[in-house]
Structure 1
Amino acid sequence: MNIPSNTPTFKQLIQYPGLLAAIFGRTFSSLALQTLSVAMGWQIYDLTHSAAALGFVGLAMFFPLLILVLPAGHMSDRFNRKNIVVICLIIEALCAIILAWESFHNKLTPTLMYIILILFGCARSFEMPCQKTFLVNIVPTNYFPQATALSSSLFQTASILGPAVGGILYGFGADLTYIVCTVSFLLAAIATFTIQFKPIQKTPMPLSIKNLFGGISFIFSRPRVLGAISLDLFAVLLGGATAMLPIYAKDILHCGPVGLGILKGSSAIGALLIATYLTKYPIQRNAGKKMFVAVFIFGIATIIFGLSTNLTLSVICLAALGGADVISVVVRSTLIQLLTPNDMLGRVSAVNMVFIGSSNQLGEFESGMLAEVVGPVNSVVIGGIGTIIIACFWIVLFPSLRKVDRLDNLKTD
């Protein structure tokens, strides 16, 4: 295959075997998860009318990730990553069909839903570190930023459709919503199973303390990797506005489950627009500075959303928040993937997933708990202010991260 080394067109990019299968596998998985999150979030809040209950949704997903991070990373670097992802997706499909069955028979309780969420968390603890390594093993290094942007485009499309589908389907019954999620997880498993890339020759790796903690040691020895991962942890941890969306939809904006789907899809629309732009026009220079600017925008949009009582303004703020986040994601993902050796990539990706899980699921828990004390509006506003403060500190603490210039010509630390 004769593909030029300069910036590729979309047609040239998708010629790489396995790329579309990997992207569509992730897209269907995301579609199912986003649809599921709307249904479960609304159903739990409808049953409990508690912000804390919504916070425990994030904790239930995060706790298994925290416990399983080291063995998950070790398995990713030792065994066939594609097979691990397929098995995990099948487990997630089984969890979704259990939700559908119990909901159909009116036996679904918050306790059972938390148990299912923990099972989801266990499966995704092993799935995500493996899934994160696919693109870097399919496309050349200089094409990776665009491949990441393309993947983000379809991921965000799923993030738009998922909440909308979840909100609409929930009006016809939660059981129907969970059945659709089951089908989507199975489609993701099929797409992932068809990925074609040359199997990576893995060096036998005995189970040892040194190998288990290898990813953590590597991250702390690379300032740019540590700075990128920890920035996501603390910035998004504090700016967890999405956990409060069911409360905003029901009690503040009064827009119902369909409105909740619109709100959840709004950030994905902004992210999709930016990701599509970056697929055609990748970040060429000053990548580090642009990432920090994106984090500032993320914080500002979070504050305005927290104060908004108008659905249109809230949608605009969430779209801006999503667009800013995808810029940060592309820069951080590229840095982490390209600065990490392949034989270490699974363990580093697993640790990175803990940081991402901390910022997302644990961020939902933090927002829920804070909302119980100061109210949902103050919780969101305080989080947005905290995001901006963290970005300012990280500019000072990690100057090498701010000075990152070109993503297609990274040099090791």
Structure 2
Amino acid sequence: MSAARRLRRGATRAMVGLALAAPLLGALVVWLNVRGEMPLPPETPLTSPPSADVARGAYLVKAGNCIGCHTTPGGAALAGGRPIETPFGAVFAPNLTPDDDTGLGRWTASEFWRAMHHGRSRNGRLLYPAFPYTSFTQMTRQDVDAVYAYLRSVPAVKQPPRAHALRFPYSTQPALAVWRALYFRAGHFSTVEEQSDAWNRGKYLVEGLGHCAACHASRNALGAARLHAGLGGGLMTDGGWYAPALSDPAEAGVQQWPRAQVVQLLKTGVSPTASVSGPMADVVHDSTQHLDEADLDAMAQYLISLPPVAASTPTEAAPATPEAMLRGAEVYAQACAACHGKQGEGVAGIYPALAGNRAVTWPSPHNLVQMVRHGGFAPTTEGNPRPFGMPPFAQTLSNDDVAAVVTYLRQSWGHRASAVSALQVSRIR
């Protein structure tokens, strides 16, 4: 038999094998997407939710920071329309108000539970995991029903959903079904018996309702949290900010902090040794400042207990060129030293020190670049009603200037972090 004939025969067999396997693979994907789901019972939407459920639901909505995604700046609360940027395009948050035509008005409690627990919409379509049902699946049915009761009580707003702007094939239901078959399985919250009730409550808030892993977990090329990623840090889905590792004391881990300081940071946005800014400032402003002390203390207990990552010997970065350091020093003297001090010492309680600041030397320079370009602002909270802020310099500093001053910060006062180029600055959205 000639080589060409053998090649044709082999190709034919491969095509036949593929044709036979395709239906089986398709059936497997379908099964993996519906496993664990029960048929929805016949019921009608609640008309007058119990007041206790509404009050509890309002609290849970704050704890889950629903307003952060489902409210556009200046728009009606929870009416949707805000884009959630991902590497695959934008997903627009839907309307959560009880409008019959454009919101949740016709949804039943079981349909809402299915969306939160299984990631499936009222009409059966699969939901994109930009809506973090991968974390919400741990919520109890009682809590989900309370959230539903509250959402039924807010003013209805007629605001049609915006079409997602995802690239092909990520915009298709089959592609989403394959993703879910690979990376999602509906679950439930499991307590750890040897831990206290408070610790387990903190775990529930951090891993489930608070969905901290939505930002603080590293992701693979398809946007799924990496296996055993935990809260080990990673770039956020918009690619503009780095969510630092909560398991690493060298980044944002609080394992060595007094518990009261962790509670203070979550409650007010500032503590004696740290402050929040960027996306985390929004979380504190919209969510954690509204939680009661018991829940904040429970979260602090859980975060402090996270096993710290194994210590490794840091790789010392190559020093920047003398020209880059000189230019960075000039920019720092002109734009930064008046507040942060000539030696990066800062002013206690007002301007943070930059020398020895762990956020300055994180592996990713994203947040430092964003702060220089767009400013840094702690949230306004009851415990910190008039926070100091840092003005933006995007209009006065070029990419070369930003790169130089960020490099200067990362390689001065004993810092040994990597230099930053103007190209890196331009790529950070």
TM-score w.r.t. length of structure 2: 0.21
Structure with higher RCO (Cα < 8 A, 6+ apart): 1
Larger strand fraction of residues: 2
TM-score w.r.t. length of structure 1: 0.22
